[in-house]
């Protein structure tokens, strides 16, 4: 049995403006999502998988600056510790707790008390977050080859940098990119991790102390603790910027780039700490590389907190003289437990450059996650019979044991550094477009089942994004790249939305339309990111699967079932992000399909409380769209035939049920006009307030 609901009329909100005003676009959208989540629960404990312990740290946004912060501290008898690094009018307060029961009661009371101050914009209690490094732990030895180009001892086994077979089919063409004359000179890459051993002889010449800091130890030196558990950041740093031809370890992808380190994973991690890390010395940093995230346990759903989001937005709006800092993010290592990277709000953010992994033979690694927000892929470890990544290790050592998506993100950061040296005018969105346009599916193509063609003719995969990064094309095209048109965002909401049941007895299908803000200043004709924002209550969240069909017929799986996710917390205004309709025209009829995959022996059910669609893109066609992206060594005809079948199937099903009438238009229009005034005012008010 299937249930279908037709005729939902969307309300388009003008919340986006030109690229130079990215601050307003980002603020409005983020505040829209954040305020909706906050409206559900004023003060709630996080899920067990997210919480480690409570401490007495609070962050307040105080109008009037330090003077008012001091007054509030005196009146509330809590200690004002300092300002939050990198932000205006944000302050850290601390209260000591003596009894567990009193502490729990005090948190709620103090929250209400602090929020009551008229000069306090918002209050957040800082809870410890559990974060995992996205490397793997096993030991094996790599077999060296006979290849030699540099005198660095690990160069022969740096297969991820060079492939010297005759076809070079699997080569990321990093050496070819160097041949264009670019090695990362003048670019600063910051490794956000457990520290960087900057005294390592293969890193020291490229170390940038001015962009580095130890947030765990509160000092300028990000050197990791020598306990054997904090090698991760040093390994990531080496992939980017090991010095070439010095007879030590290996050669970095951007071996003349400057490398910085922010030590932030070796201690208590809070939203405040993440916010500081993600904007640390943003005036000096071109690229942040993050090979960590929420637990890849197949049951966690977690987004950046308010301060982490503000940190990223600060980099996007102010970094690189307004062109935007690049945030490279490892997509996650939860593949073995069927995790989905669309449940990781860091990897699936529209502001991050999400990178997946491929093994040396081009296969999809057992640890990697699938989702439609993955942008591109670089090499890393695979199974036990494939080689890992060679790089620096702590204490002046070298290693051939770096692995996981942790190893993929720094390679991407190095390639981006080459392109930024070639063209410093590239914006954060140009870098994403370059990845879409130059990533190559061919080295990773083994089956038509893993790849799809969208309505704009782009080939994309849940496993690998748009393909394997091609450093040569990324740099060559980036050198003469014309900046993409102004950044627009259009939110389509449904004020008259009627709740829909979700059950294993039927698929819930919601069909709705958007005009993509046609005729408004933020009209979108060419898609980039799509976010389906869903508010769903469900007895067992892991049973849910979500699909979205675009007006051109592209069917995207937004979420696959996660067997280990037994939570009844549902999804509260969670933005499921997709890149799979990149380049399409969003105007027309969309279809959301929500499937409860539970069986009769253990049925579950839920309710869809509301949905909204936020689309991002441009009014004008990006100039590079004038030349169609070309593909070689893949079966494009088979992919197109597969698409044709999927499109016909999707539209046939919609048309079959099209006799079901929508709710009365006049009633909806009445609701829409009433809500339009309130919602637009609320959105613009929040978007312009920071």
Crossing angle for the helix pair 471-479 and 404-422, to the nearest 10 degrees: 30
pLDDT of res. 572 = 96
Structure tokens at 682: 């609320």
Contacts of 350 (CB under 8 A, 6+ apart): 528, 529, 531, 577, 616
Structure tokens at 561: 């079932």
494: left (phi over 0), alpha (psi -120 to 50) or beta: beta
Q: Alpha-carbon dihedral of residues 123, 128, 130, 135, nearest 10 degrees?
A: 100
The CA distance from 603 to 435, in Å, is 42
Instruction: Render pLDDT for 399-413 as a digit per residue (tens, 0 to 9).
Output: 999 999 999 999 999
Task: Tell me the percentage of the chain whose pLDDT exceeds 70.
Answer: 82
Least Cα distance to 260 among 288, 229, 283, 299 occurs for 288
pLDDT of res. 496 = 85
- State the DSSP code for 632: -
Q: Is it the case that residue 30 has pLDDT exceeding 70?
A: no
pLDDT of res. 106 = 66
Burial class of residue 600, CB neighbours in 10 A (0-12, 13-18, 19+): exposed
pLDDT of res. 105 = 43
Quick check: 534 and 571 in contact, CB under 8 A? yes
Quick check: 447 and 206 in contact, CB under 8 A? no
Structure tokens at 130: 């559990």
The residue that leads in pLDDT, 607 or 36, is: 607
Give Dmax over CA atoms of the chain in angstroms: 76
Contacts of 204 (CB under 8 A, 6+ apart): 198
Instruction: Render pLDDT for 43-101 as a digit per residue (tens, 0 to 9).
Output: 333 343 333 344 589 999 999 999 999 999 999 889 999 999 999 999 999 986 554 44
Q: Please enumerate, as own/partner, the contacts of 625-629 that have beta carbons within 8 Å and a separation of 24 or more.
A: 625/526, 625/583, 628/457, 629/437, 629/457, 629/458
The CA distance from 325 to 161, in Å, is 25
Q: Active-site positions?
A: 193, 232, 406
Structure tokens at 373: 């927000």
Mean pLDDT of 456-461: 98
- How high is the mean pLDDT of the chain? 86
pLDDT of res. 644 = 93
pLDDT band at 684; cut points 50, 70, 90: very low
**What is the residue-wise DSSP string for 164-179?**
-SSS-TT---HHHHHH
Domains, the chain, in order of start with CATH, read 2-43+486-669 (2.60.120.260), 51-129 (3.30.70.260), 133-425 (3.40.50.200)
Instruction: Render pLDDT for 258-309 as a digit per residue (tens, 0 to 9).
Output: 999 999 999 999 999 999 999 999 999 999 999 999 999 999 999 999 999 9
**Where in 65-137 does DSSP place strands (E)?**
79-83, 90-94, 120-129, 132-133
The CA distance from 415 to 474, in Å, is 8
Instruction: Render pLDDT for 191-249 as a digit per residue (tens, 0 to 9).
Output: 999 999 999 999 999 999 999 999 999 999 999 998 878 999 999 999 999 999 999 99
* β-strand partners of 535: 610
Q: Residue-wise over 66-104: b if at least 16 C-beta within 10 A, else e?
A: eebbeebbeebebebeebbbbbebbbbbebeeeeeeeee
Task: Tell me the percentage of the chain whose pLDDT exceeds 90.
Answer: 73
Burial class of residue 348, CB neighbours in 10 A (0-12, 13-18, 19+): buried
Q: Is it the case that residue 34 has pLDDT exceeding 80?
A: no
The CA distance from 432 to 351, in Å, is 9
pLDDT band at 2; cut points 50, 70, 90: very low
pLDDT band at 672; cut points 50, 70, 90: very low
Least Cα distance to 192 among 262, 123, 255, 138 occurs for 262
Q: E strand or H helix at 102, and its extent? A: helix 100-115
Instruction: Render pLDDT for 628-665 as a digit per residue (tens, 0 to 9).
Output: 999 999 999 999 999 999 888 776 655 544 323 233 22
DSSP SS3 for 80: strand
Q: Where are the alpha helices (DSSP H) in 393-469?
A: 404-422, 428-438
pTM for this prediction: 0.87
Range of lowest pLDDT (408-417, 567-576, 609-618, 667-676)? 667-676
Instruction: Render pLDDT for 483-497 as a digit per residue (tens, 0 to 9).
Output: 999 999 999 998 889
* β-strand partners of 382: none
Quick check: 67 and 75 in contact, CB under 8 A? no
The CA distance from 327 to 311, in Å, is 11
């Amino acid at each position: 049995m299937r249930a279908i609901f037709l005729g939902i009329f969307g309300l388009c909100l003008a919340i986006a403006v030109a690229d130079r005003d990215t601050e307003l676009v980002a603020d409005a959208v983020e505040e829209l999502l954040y305020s909706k989540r906050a409206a559900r629960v004023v003060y709630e404990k996080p899920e067990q998988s997210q919480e480690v312990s409570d401490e007495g740290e609070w962050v307040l946004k105080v109008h009037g600056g330090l003077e008012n912060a001091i007054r509030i501290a005196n009146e509330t008898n809590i200690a004002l510790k300092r300002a939050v690094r990198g932000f205006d009018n944000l302050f850290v307060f601390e209260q000591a707790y003596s009894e567990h029961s009193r502490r729990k009661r005090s948190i709620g009371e103090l929250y209400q008390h602090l929020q009551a101050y008229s000069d306090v914009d918002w209050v957040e209690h800082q809870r410890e977050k559990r974060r995992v490094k996205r490397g793997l732990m096993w030991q094996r030895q790599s077999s060296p080859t006979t290849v030699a180009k540099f005198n660095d001892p690990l160069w022969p086994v740096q297969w991820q940098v060079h492939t010297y077979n005759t076809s070079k089919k699997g080569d990321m063409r990093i050496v070819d990119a160097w041949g264009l004359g670019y090695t990362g000179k003048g670019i600063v890459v910051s490794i956000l991790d457990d520290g960087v051993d900057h005294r390592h002889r293969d890193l020291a010449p490229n170390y940038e102390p001015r962009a580095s800091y130890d947030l765990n130890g509160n000092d300028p030196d990000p050197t990791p603790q020598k306990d054997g558990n904090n090698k991760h950041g040093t390994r990531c740093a080496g992939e980017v910027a090991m010095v070439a031809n010095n007879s030590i370890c290996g050669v970095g992808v951007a071996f003349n780039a400057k490398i910085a380190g922010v030590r932030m994973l070796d201690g208590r991690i809070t939203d405040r700490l993440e916010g500081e890390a993600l904007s640390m010395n943003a005036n000096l940093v071109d690229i942040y590389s993050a090979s960590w995230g929420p637990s890849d346990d197949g049951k966690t759903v977690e987004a950046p907190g308010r301060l982490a989001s503000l940190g990223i937005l600060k980099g996007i709006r102010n970094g690189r003289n307004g062109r935007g800092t690049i945030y490279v993010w490892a997509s996650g290592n939860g593949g073995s437990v069927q995790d989905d990277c669309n449940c990781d709000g860091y990897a699936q953010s529209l502001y991050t450059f999400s990178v997946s992994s491929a093994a040396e033979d081009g296969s999809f690694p057992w640890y990697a996650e699938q989702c439609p927000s993955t942008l591109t892929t670089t090499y890393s470890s695979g199974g036990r019979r494939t080689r890992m990544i060679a790089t620096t290790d702590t204490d002046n050592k070298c290693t051939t044991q770096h692995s996981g998506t942790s190893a993929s993100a720094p390679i991407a950061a190095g390639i981006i550094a080459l392109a930024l040296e070639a063209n410093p005018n590239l914006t954060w969105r140009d870098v994403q477009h370059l990845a879409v346009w130059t990533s190559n599916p061919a080295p990773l193509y083994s089956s038509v089942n893993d790849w799809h063609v969208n309505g704009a003719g782009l080939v994309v995969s849940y496993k690998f994004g748009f393909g394997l990064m091609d450093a040569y094309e990324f740099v060559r095209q980036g050198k003469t790249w014309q900046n993409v048109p102004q950044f627009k965002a259009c939110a389509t909401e449904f004020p008259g939305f009627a709740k829909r049941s979700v059950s294993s007895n039927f698929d819930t299908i919601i069909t709705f339309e958007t005009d993509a803000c046609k005729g408004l200043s933020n009209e979108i004709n060419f898609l980039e990111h799509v976010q389906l924002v869903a508010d769903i209550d469900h007895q067992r969240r892991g049973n849910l699967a979500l699909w979205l069909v675009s007006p051109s017929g592209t069917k995207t799986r937004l979420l696959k079932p996660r067997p280990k996710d037994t939570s009844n917390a549902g999804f509260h205004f969670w933005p499921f992000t997709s890149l799979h309709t990149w380049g399409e025209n969003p105007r027309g009829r969309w279809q959301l399909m929500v499937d409860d995959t539970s069986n009769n022996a253990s049925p579950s059910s839920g309710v869809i409380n509301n949905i909204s669609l936020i689309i991002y893109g441009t009014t004008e066609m990006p100039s590079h769209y004038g030349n169609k992206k070309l593909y070689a060594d893949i079966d494009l005809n088979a992919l197109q035939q597969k698409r044709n079948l999927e499109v016909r199937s999707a539209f046939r099903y919609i048309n079959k049920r099209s006799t079901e009438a929508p709710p009365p238009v006049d009633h909806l229009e009445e609701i829409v006009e009433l809500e339009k005034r309130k919602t637009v005012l609320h959105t613009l008010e929040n978007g312009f307030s920071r």
